[in-house]
Amino acid sequence: MLYQIYETQRAWISPFSEFASAASKLYSHPLSLMAHLPVAQRVAAGFDLVHRLTKEYEKPEFNINKVNVHGTDVVIQEQVVEAKPFCRLLRFKRFTDNGALLEKLRAQPSVLVVAPLSGHHSTLLRDTVRTLLQDHKVYITDWVDARMVPLESGEFHLDDYINYVQEFIRKIGPDVHVISVCQPTVPVLAAISLMASRGETTPRTMTMMGGPIDARKSPTAVNNLAMNKSFEWFENNVIYRVPQNYPGAGRRVYPGFMQHTGFVAMNPDRHANSHYDYFLDLVRGDEESADAHRVFYDEYNAVLDMPAEYYLDTIKTVFQDFALVNGTWMVRNPQGEPELVKPADIKTTALLTVEGELDDISGAGQTRAAHELCTGIPSSNQKHYDVIGAGHYGIFSGRRWREMAYPEIRSFILAHNK
C-alpha cells in the first residue's frame, strides 16, 4: 500500500514541480521582465530548489564519449554484450584511427566492474569506469530496475546474482580482472570460489572495495539495522508490490524510494546544508558550484527497486547468518544443485582489498577480512590498501579515487596480468 501512496503523492506533486521550474525560468531569463525585479535572483533560486526537491529523477546516462589515452583522445562506444532479465553486461569499447595506439589498446587488460545492486544505478560508478578506460578494456554490470521487469521473468535471488557474475566472467574470458564495489564483494567472492571449487579457470585478479565481507567487524549504522531487526521485520515492513503503472506490476520489491530515504536519513544535516549552499550559489550566480550540485544529486536521487528475494537473501546471508565467514553458505547453481562456498579453494586469482579510512557504510576491516578466508592464495599475491581520508564514495569516485586508489589498482592488475 505504501508504494501506491508514494506513487499517488508523486503524481500529485509533479505539476507543482513543473510550475516551480517554469517560475524559476520566468524570474531568471534575461528576456523576462520579472528577471529585472530587485528580488528576482533570490525568487528564481527558491523556485529552482523547490523543483529539484520535488522532481522525479530518471536513470542517468553514463555519457562517456571519449577518454584520453597516452595523450590521445579515444572515442568510446557503449555496447550491450549480453542482456538478461535483471542485468545487462555493458562494454565501453574504445576506437581510434591511430594504428600504434590501437595495438596498445588491444594489449591492455580486460576488467569487469561488478556494480552494486543496492539502490543506485550502475552509473554511480561513472568516474570509476572513465578512469579505468585509460588503461583497460572495461565491462560493467548494469542492473535493471526490478519495477521494469515483468512478473513472467520469474524471481531473482542472491544465488541468481552469483550465477550471473559467473556467466559474465566466462563471457569475457579467463584473462579478466574483476573489480567489485561495495555490496557485490560478497557474491563476487562466492562466484569465484565456486568456480575454483569446480576446477574452472578463475580471473587473474579480484579487487574488492568497501564491501561487507565480514559485517561483524566495526559495524556501521547500516550493519546495525540489518543485524538488530529480525528477518520477518524486513519481510513485513519494507517489501511492497510494484503498482500497476509499471511493467513489473505485482512484483515484490524493496522500493528505491525507501532506500533513498535511508541514505538521506544517515546524514540529514549534510544534505540540508548542501541544498542551502546550492540556493546561495544560485543567488550569487556561481553556476560552476551549482552545476556540481546538480550533477551529484541527479545521480544520488536516481534510485531503483530491488527484487524482494534478492534483498531478503542478502539481509539473511550477509548481515544475519554471516554465512560466508562461518563457512555455511550454500548456493544453488543454475541446475538447482546446492554448492558450498569455499574461498580457500581459490589459488590462482590474486586478491586486492581496498577500504576507505572514513567509510561509514562498510566499517574498517570488513573488506580486509577476505584475506582471512582466501587462505589458498599465496601471500605474495595478496595486498590491502587503505585510502586515507576517503569515505565510502571516495574510494571509487572523486579525487582520492583517481589519485590514490586507482594507481594502486592499476599497478596490481598490471603486476598480475601475465
pLDDT digits 0-9 by tens, 143-173: 999 999 999 999 999 999 999 999 999 999 9
Amino acid at 310: Y
Q: From CA 418, how far away is CA 413, in angstroms rounded?
A: 10
Residue 251, domain member (yes or no): no
Examine the domain organization and report whether 168 and 314 are in the same domain.
Answer: yes
Q: What's the pLDDT score for residue 136?
A: 96
Residue 248, domain member (yes or no): no
CA distances (Å), 265 to each of 161, 231, 278, 301, in order?
28, 22, 19, 13
Number of folded domains that form the chain: 2
Q: Which residues of the chain have pLDDT under 70?
A: none
Amino acid at 324: L
Q: What's the pLDDT score for residue 133?
A: 97
Examine the domain organization and report whether 99 and 213 are in the same domain.
Answer: yes
Examine the domain organization and report whether 324 and 282 are in the same domain.
Answer: no
Q: What's the pLDDT score for residue 125?
A: 95
Amino acid at 331: V
For residue 100, what are the domain limits?
Answer: 66-235+307-415
Examine the domain organization and report whether 276 and 155 are in the same domain.
Answer: no
Query: Considering the entire predicted model, what is its pTM?
Result: 0.92
Q: What's the pLDDT score for residue 161?
A: 98
Examine the domain organization and report whether 171 and 87 are in the same domain.
Answer: yes
Confirm if 143 and 118 have CB atoms less than 8 A apart. Answer: no
Quickly count: other Cβ atoms within 10 Å of residue 190's Cβ. 26
Amino acid at 403: E
Q: What's the pLDDT score for residue 408?
A: 97
CATH number reported for the structural domain that contains residue 377 in this entry: 3.40.50.1820
Q: What's the pLDDT score for residue 33?
A: 86
Q: From CA 229, how far away is CA 2, in angstroms rounded?
A: 20
Residue 240, domain member (yes or no): no
Q: What's the pLDDT score for residue 138?
A: 97
Whose cell is 553486461? That residue is 89
Examine the domain organization and report whether 402 and 317 are in the same domain.
Answer: yes
Examine the domain organization and report whether 46 and 89 are in the same domain.
Answer: no
pLDDT digits 0-9 by tens, 322-342: 999 999 999 999 998 999 999
Whose cell is 565467514? That residue is 325
Q: What's the pLDDT score for residue 229?
A: 87
Residue 247, domain member (yes or no): no
Examine the domain organization and report whether 83 and 146 are in the same domain.
Answer: yes
Residue 117, domain member (yes or no): yes
Q: What's the pLDDT score for residue 52?
A: 93
Q: What's the pLDDT score for residue 206?
A: 98
Q: What's the pLDDT score for residue 262?
A: 80
Examine the domain organization and report whether 20 and 114 are in the same domain.
Answer: no
Examine the domain organization and report whether 142 and 192 are in the same domain.
Answer: yes
Q: What's the pLDDT score for residue 228?
A: 84
Q: Strand (E) positions, 7-50?
A: none
Q: From CA 208, how far away is CA 210, in angstroms rounded?
A: 7
Residue 402, domain member (yes or no): yes
Whose cell is 515492513? That residue is 237
Examine the domain organization and report whether 77 and 49 are in the same domain.
Answer: no
Amino acid at 155: E
Examine the domain organization and report whether 10 and 111 are in the same domain.
Answer: no
3-class secondary structure, 413:
helix
